[in-house]
């Protein structure tokens, strides 16, 4: 059974990591997928990779400025207009920050909030415009376990992800009357570009503190997105699902 057969799906941050894994899994499960990326070059590269993997599938790609509601609405609207509706919006794009509190500049803090919170807001707002008349849809927002528990440094990241969780819970309660679900996913430490840059000796020590003794794979997060986007999860909204292997920052 294909869990998201014919569901029109947009994935921000869909050119790599969790987002790219989600794009593949959703295509394999019957969805019509569009991806958003940071640059058109990144988008084109990801589209070429997906075309090679799934030559029969049409995948659209865009590189809107996520901090601009007009730009996001234009891209989301293009997808919805082409297919006649929008079923699933996955607000996955985000950036990280490791700077300790005493050294965080106002500009850096504002930047991570703009991408991680305003970007999610703009994606959710644009998706809602395309879903409200049909009275159906699912909005999935990528949070983080740091948004729940905090972290030892990099105050901007847990602050922004706590904002995503608050947005998810509040919006989910507000728009369920339109039969639109809003769910957050809070990953733990995932094997993506963000972790590949760590020196091996630091990473080894880091992994020893994990109950699972390993990082999660992007596909393990993407599979949760798949479930939440499917009709199997019709009763789940206004909450955040932790996918962390019992890791606590």
Q: Largest Cα–Cα distance in the chain?
A: 54
Per-position DSSP letters for the chain, written without gaps between them = --TTTT-EEEEETTTSHHHHHHHHHHHHTT-EEEEE-SSHHHHHHHHHHHHHH-TT---EEE---TT-HHHHHHHHHHHHHHHS---EEEE---------GGG--HHHHHHHHIIIIIHHHHHHHHHHHHHTTTT-EEEEEE--THHHH--SS-THHHHHHHHHHHHHHHHHHHHGGGTEEEEEEEE-SBSSHHHHTS-HHHHHHHHHTSTTSSPBPHHHHHHHHHHHHSGGGTT--SEEEEESTT---
Active-site residues: which are they? 157, 161
Q: Cα separation of 117 and 111, whole Å?
A: 10
């Amino acid at each position: 059974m294909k869990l998201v057969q014919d569901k029109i799906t947009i994935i921000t941050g869909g050119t790599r990591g969790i987002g790219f894994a989600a794009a593949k899994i959703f295509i394999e499960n019957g969805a019509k997928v569009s991806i958003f990326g940071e640059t058109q070059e990144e988008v084109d590269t990801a589209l070429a990779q997906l075309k090679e993997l799934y030559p029969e599938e049409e995948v659209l790609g865009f590189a809107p400025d996520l901090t601009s509601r007009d730009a996001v609405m234009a891209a989301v609207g293009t997808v919805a207009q082409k297919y006649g509706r929008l079923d699933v919006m996955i607000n996955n794009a985000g950036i990280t920050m490791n700077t300790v509190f005493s050294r965080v500049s106002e500009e850096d803090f504002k930047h991570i909030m703009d991408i991680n919170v305003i970007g999610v807001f703009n994606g959710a707002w644009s998706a809602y415009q395309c879903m409200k008349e049909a009275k159906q849809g699912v909005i999935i927002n990528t949070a983080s376990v740091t948004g729940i528990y905090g972290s030892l440094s990099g105050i901007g990241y847990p602050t922004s992800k706590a904002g995503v969780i608050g947005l998810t819970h509040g919006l989910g309660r507000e728009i369920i009357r339109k039969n639109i679900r809003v769910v957050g996913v809070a990953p733990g430490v995932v094997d993506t570009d963000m972790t590949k840059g760590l020196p091996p000796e630091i990473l080894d020590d880091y992994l020893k503190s994990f109950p699972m003794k390993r990082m999660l794979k992007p596909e393990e997060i993407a599979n949760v997105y798949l479930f939440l986007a499917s009709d199997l999860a019709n009763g789940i909204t206004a909450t955040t699902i932790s996918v962390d292997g019992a890791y606590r920052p």
